[in-house]
Amino acid sequence: MKFFIDTANLDQIKEANDLGILAGVTTNPSLVAKEGVDFHSRLKEITSLVDGSVSAEVVALDAEGMIEEGLELSKSHLTLR
């Protein structure tokens, strides 16, 4: 079984990660907006904290936009590794 936390709050992510069982983080623009920070900046912070998977939702409603956003998100993640 794998455990993922669904949040954009860094304190919650750190706490879950410190337990030693965190497989990754799922988040979305709404969760990041609640934190009052930039979406891409927060994703970079999350990927720097977590060794596991980071899943981030796109906001586009059409396939072309979703693919474009997904590629941009993956680029920002890949530059961190």
Instruction: Supply angle C-alpha 59, 38, 69, rounded to 5.
Output: 30
- pLDDT at residue 80 tops 80: no
User: What is the value of pTM for the model shown?
Assistant: 0.82
The structure tokens listed for 23 are 């497989």
Contact indicator for 12, 5 with CB cutoff of 8 Å: yes
Average pLDDT, the chain: 88
pLDDT at 76: 64
